[in-house]
Structure 1
Amino acid sequence: MTIQSILGAIVIGAIIGALGRLFLPGKQAIGWILTIVVGIVAALIGTAIAQNLGVATTPGIDWIELVMQVVLAVVGVALVSAIRGRSGKTRV
């Protein structure tokens, strides 16, 4: 892995994670670093699913892949927020 690919994953993860939090209603009990981590994981899993379905190699912007990544980020943010909320480690 190069520095560019690592930085690219962080930037894309931040965007996907932020979109996941934006589309999830209510207040989430997770910080911005955990949001980026959830976004990176959602982006990687969404890309893998899109490649297995054969929709990741379309010309132009891969909208289906992007939607998959954001949906996975919404689910991930909701799960992490629920787990952190149950453990009593909520942030104000």
Structure 2
Amino acid sequence: MTVGALLSALAVGLAVGALGRLVVPGRQTVPRWVTAAVGVVAALLGSLTVRLAGDAGPLDFRETLVQVCASGVAVVLVVVTSGRHRSVTPPARTRR
């Protein structure tokens, strides 16, 4: 990976991580740094995927598009799934 690809993945991941919280309605329990980190990691994986497929060139729009899509999906999944806690009801007591 080139330095440009790493910097674009970092920029895209941070931006989508910050904006991804706005897409999901309601209160989120995930810290902002987690959504930013997930966005950056997913953007890096998207960039790596495009480069392994051999479709990336210098300043390639497809690579940026894959980075945005991958980080957007990952951030939304993390925000939606992390806020749900299952409440376990205790078993009913029987009187003796």
TM-score range, shorter chain: 0.5 to 0.7
Q: Given that residues 38 and 77 in structure 1 are in contact (C-alpha distance below 8 angstroms), is that contact kept between their aligned partners in structure 2?
A: yes
| Within-5 A mapping of 1:10-49 | 11-12=10-11, 13-19=13-19, 21=20, 24=23, 26-27=25-26, 29=28, 30-49=30-49
What does residue 4 of structure 2 align with? Answer: none
What does residue 64 of structure 1 align with? Answer: 62
Structure number with bigger Rg: 2
Identity %: 32
Q: Given that residues 16 and 72 in structure 2 are in contact (C-alpha distance below 8 angstroms), is that contact kept between their aligned partners in structure 1?
A: no
Distance in 1, matches of 2:61 and 2:79, equals: 27
Aligned-CA RMSD value: 3.0
Structure (1/2) with the larger helix percentage: 1
Alignment TM-score, normalising by the size of structure 1: 0.64
Alignment TM-score, normalising by the size of structure 2: 0.62
What does residue 3 of structure 1 align with? Answer: none
Q: State yes or no: 1:81 paired with 2:79.
A: yes
Aligned residues: 79
Distance in 1, matches of 2:49 and 2:39, equals: 15
Give the ranges of 4+ consecutive aligned residues of structure 1 lying more than 4 Å apart after TM superposition.
8-11
